[in-house]
Amino acid sequence: MKRVLITGGAGFIGANLARRLLADGHAVTVLDDFYTGQRANLEGLGVTLLERDVREPIPGEYDWIFNLACPASPPHYQLDPLFTLTTSIDGIRRVLELAGRCGARVLHASTSEVYGDPLVHPQPETYWGHVNTLGIRSCYDEGKRAAEAFALEYRRACGVDVRLVRIFNTYGPFMDPQDGRVVSNFILQALRGEPITLYGDGAQTRSFQFVDDLVAGFLAYIQADPARLEAFFAPKGCAIPVLNMGNPGEFTVRQLAEEVLRQIPESRSALAARPLPGDDPKRRKPDVSWAKACLGWEPRIPLRDGLAKTIAYFRGLA
């Protein structure tokens, strides 16, 4: 049994991770300020709740810390860009200070957004990215890039065992219906008979990972023996473990809309063009060969099956 802290644990990924950790017999504490997290996601679960801001010093003693605290959907992280930046940067500092004090192992949720609108396809961990530092996404992208730098330097200077995971588009039960993300938007619009809002021409691609695959990856990664990680990453010139986690199956946003409508045959919705938001990446697809070689992990749930489970979840909410 491990003492586990999940910062941002009332959010979509945290809610799924907390359930899996509790099912595995661990003691779970969730830190959340409910800026985007949902109280309902934790109801009746039996987690210890620390309702506080991750930018403040964090009390307690833990074996594992998952640092997920940060608004993550474009509409949410653009609402208060300074909050997003400071949550990323001050948040990881607080987590690393805590880990340094109690000897916890840290898994930090980074993001495919560190690659920006990538010029290399698919994106391996060695790609440095193509990010607009002054664009509307930079509060998120640059906050997350700075957080990676903090993790690296704390690891080097203080020996904190921190591991980075760059998460690609992920979907599944407990997504926030208000999040504005493409999967939740399309499903809810199709269920309500509203227009399916296709931004731009819908030809931009994303690779959609079902959340159970990501949670399985998290658990394999946090449990990996430090010496094994060192043996894997040091020869690659990486001073910190860094792994992509995502599903390499690549779909256009239009294809996603069509699959959602196929799975909700009673829907009266039709596709409706909307303006493309600024700096929207044109293509995104993870190279997950390192995660496979290092952890034996790869995603197993195809989009069709994951969508069916997610649609069932959203139907249950109606």
Per CB under 6 A, does 283 bind ligand UDP? no
Contact pick of 15, 190, 253, 264 for ligand UDP (by CB under 6 A): 253
Q: Cβ of residue 74: shortest distance to ligand UDP, in angstroms?
A: 5
| CA of residue 307 relative to chain centroid, distance | 17
Tokens standing for residue 42: 């934790």
Nearest to 171 by CA among 71, 273, 308: 308
Per CB under 6 A, does 247 bind ligand UDP? no
173 preceded by cis ω (within 30°)?
no
Tokens standing for residue 14: 């945290």
Q: Find the DSSP H helices in the chain.
A: 12-23, 74-77, 81-102, 138-158, 182-192, 211-223, 226-233, 253-263, 289-295, 303-317
Per CB under 6 A, does 206 bind ligand UDP? yes
Q: Cβ of residue 100: shortest distance to ligand UDP, in angstroms?
A: 32
Per CB under 6 A, does 289 bind ligand UDP? no
Contact pick of 16, 29, 88, 169 for ligand UDP (by CB under 6 A): 169
* CA distances in angstroms from 171 to 48, 96, 305, listed in the order given: 25, 28, 12
Q: Classify the C-alpha dihedral 260-262-263-268 as positive or negative.
A: positive
Per CB under 6 A, does 277 bind ligand UDP? yes
Q: Cβ of residue 94: shortest distance to ligand UDP, in angstroms?
A: 25
Contact pick of 2, 86, 153, 199 for ligand UDP (by CB under 6 A): 199
Per CB under 6 A, the segment of 47-55, 98-106, 123-131, 178-186 that binds ligand UDP is 178-186
Residue 29 or residue 184: which is nearer to ligand UDP going by CB?
184
- Which helix (H) or strand (E) segment holds residue 274: the answer is strand 271-274
* CA distances in angstroms from 142 to 32, 113, 128, 133, 238, listed in the order given: 22, 9, 12, 7, 20
Of residues 120 through 159, those in contact with ligand UDP by CB under 6 A are none
Write the single-letter amino acid at 163.
Answer: R
Q: Cβ of residue 212: shortest distance to ligand UDP, in angstroms?
A: 18
313 is catalytic: no
Per CB under 6 A, the segment of 50-58, 86-94, 98-106, 181-189 that binds ligand UDP is 181-189
Per CB under 6 A, does 204 bind ligand UDP? yes
Q: Are 175 and 183 in contact (CB under 8 A)?
A: yes
Q: Which of 35, 62, 77, 140 is catalytic?
A: 140
* CA distances in angstroms from 251 to 45, 113, 286, listed in the order given: 35, 18, 12
Total residues interacting with ligand UDP, rule: CB under 6 A: 15
**Cα separation, 285 vs 206, whole angstroms:** 6
Q: Cβ of residue 84: shortest distance to ligand UDP, in angstroms?
A: 13
Q: By the criterion CB under 6 A, which residues form the site for ligand UDP?
A: 73-74, 169, 181-182, 185, 197-199, 204, 206, 253, 276-277, 280
Please list the active-site residues. 140
